[in-house]
A and B are shown apart, each in its own frame.
Chain A
Amino acid sequence: MTAMTATANKLTVQVGPITTRYEARGSGPPLLYLHGAFGYASWPTFLDALTDSFTVYAPTHPGFEGDDAIDHIEDLLDLTLYHAELVEALGLERPHVVGHYNGAMIAAEMAVLDSDSVGKIVLAAPAGLWQDDNPGLDYNATPITEMRQSLFARADSAAAHSFFPVPQDDEEMGWQIIRRVQSLSVVGKFLWPIPDKGLARRARRIKSPTLVVVGDCDKVVPPEYADVLTSLIPSSRSLVMEDSGHMFPHEHPAKFAEAVLEFLRE
């Protein structure tokens, strides 16, 4: 594995018909980070703390930047296979996979399909489960102006504002709307209208050591879902982040990175 410099990379890798953009930084064994649905950032700050121990690969989900690559991925099986191919195309040997929300569901599905192809997996606020009496927020029906309050435990924090800034003018508002539509329509292709696509049925096949992390104030993925997953995945444990909304990897980057590192070193 070649060591990557600490400067930003805007690399591309070809996965079948899809040109995938990604960043890679750090040195050491490979770690793949699959981002979540909201306020997509190409290199979230918590990844910095992982680069001393790992070479971190952070791809952009097809479609998130308005590209039509998503047209090549029709369903959950396509999506899982695309990520399996991405690992091959990047030349990664059993990378650890850290995923947030939809990214976490993909990480879990990759391990369902072939646990030998990945190392350990960290599922942060994972999508994929559903309880009728504890359904989680319908973020697809949440006005854009309420997203910050809905996704962060502390909506006034700098982190919350950096993901969802108060728009200064109509143009800025317009771009926020477009970014929201681009990302949520892509995520919705696989999760609409209820984010349960059978993971609970398949999770028992996950052989990879698994850490499930949830936020105690996450409105999107109720923290109670952690117990459901750990009861299904044989080698797993869970961690509840305190004072944390759905965006805890960004709300508490140091604490989250520390938890990930501790788990990966075990």
Chain B
Amino acid sequence: MKICWFHLMPYRYLPEDFEEKYRSVWVDVPSHLFDPLKANELYNEYLDELEFADQTGFDGICINEHHNNAYGIMPSPNITAATLTRRTKDAAIVVLGNSLALYNPPLRVAEEFAMLDCISGGRLVAGFPVGTSMDTNYAYGATPANLREKYYEAHDLVMKSWTEPEPFAFNGKHNQIRYVNIWPRPLQQPHPPVWIPGGGSLETWEWTARMDYVYCYLSYFGYKRGIQVMDGFWKEMENLGVDDNPYRAGFLQLVCVAETDEKAKELYAEHVDFFYKKCLHVYEGFAEAPGYRTIRTIKSGAVQQVGASASRFRQRLTWEDYVDQGYVIAGSPKTVIENLRKAVEGLRVGHLMTLLQIGSMPRDLTMMNTELFATQVKPHLEDMWDEYEDRWWPQPVAAESRANPAPVAV
């Protein structure tokens, strides 16, 4: 299986009384709480961590896009990815992704992804999320009623721009371009693998299956809850007559590794608490703009990850709850291996995305978590799903014939 290292890039200097004083970590969290000098440190620290994940042998490094958000200070994952193309060697660069409907024209995404693919020698995974309601509707003003329609049209335009070698005209409802003709084209042919992060909507499952893309369920609530959703996904794949190759799916899991289970609690509890109580403190009114989800998905009972009831519930949780309920897989390497194998089998996912920097976790602890995972956990999971072929993994140029960054020595 493939194991990736995912960074959210939280702003880890939120005040102690943040959740009492402010109604939301997202959308209207005032930017006077953001100290750019601290961010100078943070961004570099976080990029170091992503680079370390490459050095320690993670198969991929994952980044994503959020706006007006104090737990994800990465409005442009492409800028992050650009730095990583030069400073990492082997890892796939998994951009999860660019919210297509927000860009006008979305060709900008096609161009930037193609640049990243060329610079990295074909290591890009192109992620196309619809984007959360907070990001798209509230922060970027996108109209909920036609967000998905715009998204699908943008997708069609991007894919055609990547695969059509001659200039063409695109007469869409939301995009009219007389001369579509992007330079550069992506290195991977016909295009980089496409992964679709989602929150469990039926329409996305159907579409992902039809397009033969990877579906990534990016939940913060762990494998025990995730299994219910992924069971639904696999049932739907069966209904649609699609095979059950585990590499069709990805899942995000919070993981904390230490020498012993007790040590894990001692080292990580406060940072996990910061994540669930501060980072996910989202005002209920922003949880979902009317029209963001279809009526069909609402009726199917897909649960929202954020909002007041979810927040109130989490305010009572302790380290033991997080661990028992599977929000976090934590403990000694042995404990983590056992639970992760259970999780991966239960979820049936070939692409595991691990969140190893969590909430307020500082650099040294993150590096330790990463190293312990890479050396003592990862080797015991890699053999899973060996019998299946991963058709959704980047196909880079062979390392020996790939360009290497070669700064001129002064």
A residues lining the B interface (CB < 8 Å): 66, 70, 74, 138, 140-143, 174, 177-178, 180-186, 188-189, 192-194
The answer to whether B291 and A188 touch across the interface, beta carbons within 8 angstroms, is: yes
Cβ of B291 and Cβ of A185 under 8 Å apart?
Answer: yes
Interface of A, secondary structure class, is: helix
A236 to chain B, nearest CB (A): 30
**Contact present for B308 and A140 (CB under 8 Å):** no
Contact: A193 with B137, CB < 8 Å?
yes
Residues of B within 8 A of A193 (CB): 137-138, 141, 143
Given A178-B298, A188-B290, A141:B145 Cβ within 8 A: no
A188 touches B145 (CB 8 A): yes
Task: Please give me the 7 A-B residue pairs with the lowest Cβ-Cβ distance, nearest first.
Answer: A185-B291, A184-B290, A141-B285, A189-B145, A193-B141, A192-B143, A181-B290
B145 to A185, Cβ gap below 8 A?
yes
Near A by CB (< 8 A), chain B positions 269-314 give 283-286, 289-291, 293, 295, 298-299, 308
| In the complex, B77 has a CB within 8 A of chain A | no
- Could you tell me if B290 and A189 are in contact, using CB atoms closer than 8 angstroms? no
Tell which of B27, B285, B289, B290 has the most Cβ of chain A within 10 Å. B290
Cβ-closest chain A residue relative to B146: A189
- Establish whether residues A143 and B284, one from each chain, have CB atoms under 8 Å apart when the complex forms: yes
Taking CB atoms and an 8 Å cut-off, the chain B residues in 246-285 that contact chain A are: 283-285
Q: Is B144 an interface residue (CB 8 A)?
A: yes
* A185-B290 in contact given A141-B283, A192-B137, A192-B141 (Cβ < 8 Å): yes
In the complex, chain B residues 129-146 whose Cβ is within 8 Å of any chain A Cβ: 137-138, 141-146
- Name 19 A/B residue pairs within 8 A (Cβ), A-sorted: A70-B145, A138-B285, A140-B290, A141-B138, A143-B285, A143-B308, A178-B295, A180-B290, A181-B290, A181-B291, A184-B290, A185-B145, A188-B143, A188-B144, A188-B290, A188-B291, A189-B145, A192-B143, A193-B137
Besides the known contacts A140-B289, A188-B289, A192-B143, 11 further A-B residue pairs in the complex with CB atoms under 8 A apart: A141-B283, A141-B286, A143-B285, A181-B295, A181-B298, A184-B290, A188-B143, A189-B145, A189-B146, A192-B141, A193-B137
| Complex CA–CA separation, A182 to B308 (angstroms) | 22
Residues of chain A lying within 8 A (CB to CB) of residue B291: 181, 184-186, 188-189
Question: Given A178-B295, A180-B290, A193-B137, is A185 in contact with B285 using a C-beta cutoff of 8 Å?
Answer: no
Q: How far is the CA of A142 from the CA of B142 in the complex (A)?
A: 18
Residue pair B145, A177 in contact (C-beta under 8 Å): no
| In the bound complex, CA of A178 to CA of B286 (Å) | 17
Smallest CB gap from A189: residue in B: B145
For the complex, what is the distance from the CA of A66 to the CA of B138, rounded to whole Å?
A: 23
- A-side contacts of B299, CB under 8 Å: 174, 178
Contact yes or no, B298 A177, CB < 8 A: yes
Q: Shortest distance in angstroms between A7's beta carbon and chain B's nearest beta carbon?
A: 31
From B145, B284, B295, give the contact of A192 (CB < 8 A). Answer: B145
